[in-house]
């Protein structure tokens, strides 16, 4: 393929990419996070303990200590992540990769 043919193909691909319309402003999976999210479905004590490796009471005590340091105000155009969910993301044991010790 010559240079002209390559340029035509690139122009067509760019036009197709520009014409693509977005289907959602916010995807439904993210808008349902407050109802069906991991944090809101894990408040059963046995599941919570196996997921975070601490009891709900311990989590609440830790939250009381750290809440002033991890709190963010809502910017107005979207909801900020609540302090409880922010702490839960950091205490999640299953999704955190293990650190390899290099020495």
List the domain boundaries for the chain. 26-91
Give the integer Cα–Cα distance in Å for 38 and 47.
Answer: 11
pLDDT in tens, 40-50: 777 777 888 88
pLDDT in tens, 12-53: 888 776 666 677 777 777 777 777 777 777 777 788 888 788
| Integer Rg of the chain from CA | 23
Q: Please choose, from the candidates 93, 91, 96, 98, the residue with its C-alpha nearest in 3D space to the C-alpha of residue 58.
A: 91
Sign of CA dihedral 69, 67, 39, 34: negative
């Amino acid at each position: 393929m010559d240079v002209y043919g390559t340029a035509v193909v690139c122009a067509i691909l760019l036009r197709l990419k520009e014409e693509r319309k977005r289907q959602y402003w916010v995807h439904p999976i993210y808008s349902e996070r407050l109802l069906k999210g991991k944090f809101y479905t894990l408040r059963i004590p046995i599941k919570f303990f196996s997921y975070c490796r601490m009891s709900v009471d311990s989590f609440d005590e830790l939250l009381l200590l750290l809440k002033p340091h991890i709190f963010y105000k809502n910017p107005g155009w979207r909801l900020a992540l609540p302090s409880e969910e922010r702490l839960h993301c950091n205490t999640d044991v299953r999704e955190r990769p293990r650190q390899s010790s290099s020495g």
